[in-house]
Structure 1
Amino acid sequence: MTITKDKVVSMHYTVKNTSGDVIDTSEGRDPLMYMQGHRNIIPGLENALEGKAAGDKVEATIEPAQAYGEVVEELIQEVPRSAFEGVETLEVGMNFQAQSEQGPVNVVITKVEDDKVTVDGNHPLAGQTLEFNVEVVEIRDATEEEIAHGHAHGVGGHQH
């Protein structure tokens, strides 16, 4: 069996940035499960895994456009400190949810000055080329329920 649309894939992975720093890994944990063809993982990795079989090892370098996108400068904004009403201490790295015309957006504080705070609404990995090492552990047909929900369910079924 190979990885095609509507297959549930279990895989071990390590992802690094181009400097070689490990960003995330499944090492020491259960394999990651996802359903192929349903945008459960970044497009570039899904494309790299298409047609692979259990036991295959895949190395893939994924450019930003096929990962988390390029950095969108309009998502980096300077806002007044008063926008954080009720928050006494603001520090770089803190996450908040902001309301936008398109709905809620997660932002991270990147700079704090006296009365101004810079926030970034880009995904933390936007603009980065990612290097994946993947081992395909198992492939199975998705259930009707998984296909209807658009994602894989873990052992014992529905877990959300």
Structure 2
Amino acid sequence: MNIGPKTVTVFHYTLRNAAGEELETSRGSDPSAFLYGANNIIPGLEKALKDRTAGDVFTADIAADDAYGQVDPKRQQRVPSKHLVYKGKLKPGMVVQLNTSEGRVPVTVVKAGRHSADIDTNHPLAGQALSFDIEIIEVREASAEEVAHGHAHGPGGHHH
């Protein structure tokens, strides 16, 4: 079965930046799972996975525009420190979690003050070209429930 609409793909990945530094990997833990077409992964990776099948091993180089987009300088703001989730002392360059009405989102601290912080709400990988080493483990038809919920269920996917 090929990856396409209404399929769930289970895969291992290693993510690297343009300098070749490993940023993240699923190897050594559960593989990731996603529902094709539900905007669960970055657009460039979904395009690179389309029409692939179980057993495929490949590298996908993704431009910044097809990953997390370009850095938008208007996405910096000052917030009270109490809205940030972090451990230790708040320092510039730290990636922390910002509590929002839609849940937590990663932000980068630009400047840390006593009671507030200047943060950058661009995704920490915005503006960067990325490279994914992919190993497709399984491709299967999505269940009606997965399609209705807009995400894969089970190991590597969402658990209710």
Question: Above 0.5 in TM-score?
Answer: yes
Aligned length: 155
The one-letter code sitting in structure 2 at the alignment partner of 1:133 is D
Q: TM-score, normalised by structure 1?
A: 0.82
What is the CA–CA distance in structure 1 between the aligned matches of 2:149 and 2:115, rounded to whole Å? 45
Give the gaps of 5 or more residues in structure 2. none
- Work out whether residues 75 and 121 of structure 1, in 8 Å CA contact, stay in contact via their aligned partners in 2: yes
**CA displacement at 1:104 relative to structure 2:** 8.2
1:69 partner SS = coil
**CA displacement at 1:109 relative to structure 2:** 1.4
Tell me the residue number matched to 2:96: 95
- Work out whether residues 81 and 115 of structure 2, in 8 Å CA contact, stay in contact via their aligned partners in 1: no
Counterpart mapping for 1:1-160 below 5 A: 1-77=1-77, 79=78, 83-84=80-81, 90-92=90-92, 93=94, 95-97=96-98, 106-112=106-112, 117-155=117-155, 159-160=159-160
The one-letter code sitting in structure 1 at the alignment partner of 2:31 is P
**CA displacement at 1:63 relative to structure 2:** 0.8
Larger Rg: 1
What is the CA–CA distance in structure 2 between the aligned matches of 1:108 and 1:95, rounded to whole Å? 6
Q: TM-score, normalised by structure 2?
A: 0.82
What is the CA–CA distance in structure 2 between the aligned matches of 1:32 and 1:59, rounded to whole Å? 16
Give the gaps of 5 or more residues in structure 1. none
- Work out whether residues 99 and 105 of structure 1, in 8 Å CA contact, stay in contact via their aligned partners in 2: yes
What is the CA–CA distance in structure 2 between the aligned matches of 1:104 and 1:152, rounded to whole Å? 21
- Work out whether residues 75 and 121 of structure 2, in 8 Å CA contact, stay in contact via their aligned partners in 1: yes
Which segments of structure 1 move beyond 4 Å, counting only runs of 4 or more? 102-106, 113-116
Task: Say what the alpha-carbon RMSD is for the aligned residues.
Answer: 3.0
